[in-house]
Amino acid sequence: MDNTSLSNPCPVSGSSRLRIALFPGTFDPFTIGHESLVRRGLELVDEIVISIGVNEAKKTYFELEKRMEMIRNLYKDEPRVKVGSYDSLTIEFARKMDAKFILRGIRSVNDFEYEKTIADMNRMISGIETFVLFTEPELTHISSSHVRELLRYGHDVSAFVPKGMVLG
């Protein structure tokens, strides 16, 4: 079953002349590293769909709707950023959004190996190209899983999430 959801629909999103990139992830929570990738990605494409993958096997800190709301609020004044959710293959959701690209970030060599394998498979079965941006050096230590751990123990995470993002 494909439980696709998209906020901030753009009437021209289906236009093949737009360069649309999917930025998939769990975003639990969305960090300043993610924010950096979106900002930099918008210099390369016309629109980015921040795509929250639903994986029932993953235990998340924030419910899907809360994650979507937090990201939607963060980009409420940026019409080139959409927020969607899906419970299918990423490439299937990319096709639905008319995305020709997948945006990914790489923090380390380990990330590279993982992302390359997925990018090769996605390109082979769908023709959708993946482009990667290297995480800015001052942000390489930030990951959603580390921020979640801090949250679980009641630690202030404001240094790791975008300014203005309300987590509560």
Residue tagged 């990667």 (tokens) = 132
Please say if 123 is a catalytic residue: no
Please say if 144 is a catalytic residue: yes
Residue tagged 């979507």 (tokens) = 68
Given the residues 36, 51, 85, 144, the one annotated as active site? 144
Whole-angstrom CA distances from 86 to 23, 90, 168 are: 12, 8, 24
Given the residues 39, 80, 107, 123, the one annotated as active site? 107
Specify the 3-state DSSP secondary structure of 21.
strand
CB 22 within 8 A of CB 94: yes
Given the residues 17, 58, 59, 163, the one annotated as active site? 58
Q: Which residues are catalytic?
A: 34, 58, 107, 144
